[in-house]
Amino acid sequence: MSDQNRLRELKARLPGSVESLVEEFTSPLMAAARSWGLSERDAQEAVQDSLTDFLTALDRFEGRSTLKTFLFGVLYHKCSERRRKNKREEATEDMEAAFSGRFGSLGVWNSLPRGPEEEAVNDELKAWLEECAKGLSDEQRSAFQLKTVENVATEEACKIIGVSATNLGVLMFRARNKLRECLEKKWMKR
């Protein structure tokens, strides 16, 4: 359903409009909240609050951004608040130095990069990924979730996180390489 039609139905309080909104957006919002490190309970509260805030402000929603961008933006800020309350420490290792260290003076690989490439994504590898994702900062996790999992366009992802397109590229670079380095360490210990 297009955003325009959905908003019209919601504003008219048509039967089934709230159900349709919940059906379409709950799972993607929950997946994002979980990937951003919230507990199941905190994730459910954040998603509920995001949808409630949207419906409360429905008549003032002007549609300048897509509905998906708006909802993910609200959720992003709620998740950030909760993570600050839980006093989670941000990852501080220098990804640029770690990445540069993989290459010699001519920019050639020092050694073969190793890790899963063609393997089926079984429960063990999912668990590795979950654990490695804990090493990402809030912004890195958000960028990676929005671009890779939710396939949000660059411009929309930039609005949600509040960064430029260049910075979004940097976030994606750091997120992917942190995950790859972490997975490589686990892979080599197998």
Partner 1 sequence: MSWIPSCSDVARAVSDDSYNESSPSRRVMLRLHMAVCWFCRRYAAQIRWIDRAARETWGVPAPGDADLKRRLIARLRS
Token representation of residue 102: 């993989």
Token representation of residue 32: 């994002």
Closest C-alpha to 25, from 60, 71, 63: 71
Residues in contact with 163: Cβ distance below 8 Å, sequence separation at least 6, in sequence order: 139, 143, 171
Token representation of residue 170: 């940097």
Report in angstroms how near the CB of residue 68 gets to partner 1 at its nearest: 14
103 pairs with which residues across the strands? 109
Does residue 125 belong to the site contacting partner 1 (CB under 8 A)?
A: yes
109 pairs with which residues across the strands? 103
**Binds partner 1 (CB under 8 A): choice among 12, 59, 87, 106:** 106
Does residue 65 belong to the site contacting partner 1 (CB under 8 A)?
A: no
Using alpha carbons only, how large is the chain's radius of gyration in Å?
19
Amino acid (1-letter code) at residue 94: D
Which listed range, 63-71, 77-85, 86-94, 164-172, lies at the site for partner 1 (CB under 8 A)? 164-172
Subset of residues 167 to 186 that bind partner 1, contact rule: CB under 8 A: 169-170, 172-173, 176-177, 179-180, 183-184
Which listed range, 25-33, 59-67, 71-79, 83-91, lies at the site for partner 1 (CB under 8 A)? 25-33
Q: Which residues bind partner 1 (CB under 8 A)?
A: 18-19, 22-23, 26-27, 30-32, 34-35, 40, 44, 47-48, 51-52, 55, 99-100, 102-103, 106-109, 112-119, 121, 125-126, 129-130, 144-145, 147-150, 154, 169-170, 172-173, 176-177, 179-180, 183-184
